Amino acid sequence: MIKALEAEIVGISFSFTAHSGYYIPIEFPEKEQDIDMDLDSILKYLKPEIENPENCFCGQNIKYDALVLSRYGIHLANMVFDTMIAEYMLHPDKNSYKMDYLALDYLKYRMVPINDLIGSGLHQKSMAEVPLKDISFYASEDADIAFQLTKILKEKLD
């Protein structure tokens, strides 16, 4: 696993409503060099929204995302919910709190396994090497599932 303070941002995904997710690609194999969608430009645009304390952020292991963003000088202002921590609070005896398992347990939905995208072991590749079509689906799905799980787990904790 890549440490948060060493991770490179290859794209950003998010969701505002259940059953939808969005992905902003930054690095991918098909990217043409003359496309003006570099990380600095995108982060400059997103930074005011990410740092706005009126916007709420939830996610799976959201501290990791906050640490990655901090490396780029962005403070994730209002982290309000973490699905991994919520599941731990509800079931501290579990072996794993991976979102794949939470999606199966709560949504009866099987997510695309990360190993399908990047492989494993010696042949594992970087997310930046995954074709745009595949990484877009994976990242959007990830954001959507985290969004859906937030509502469910929040209700269970309440």
Per-residue pLDDT, 2: 64
Rounded mean pLDDT, 39-50:
94
Q: What is the pLDDT of residues 73-86, one digit of tens each?
A: 999 989 999 999 99
Percent of the chain residues topping a pLDDT of 70: 96
For residues 84 and 22, the answer to whether their CB atoms sit within 8 Å is no
pLDDT recorded at residue 97: 96
Better-predicted residue by pLDDT, 84 or 30: 84
- Provide the pLDDT for residue 96: 93
* The predicted structure's pLDDT at residue 87: 98
Distances in Å between the Cα of 46 and the Cα atoms of 11, 24, 70 are 12, 11, 13
> Mean pLDDT across the stretch 140-150?
98
Burial class (CB in 10 A: 0-12, 13-18, 19+), 146: buried
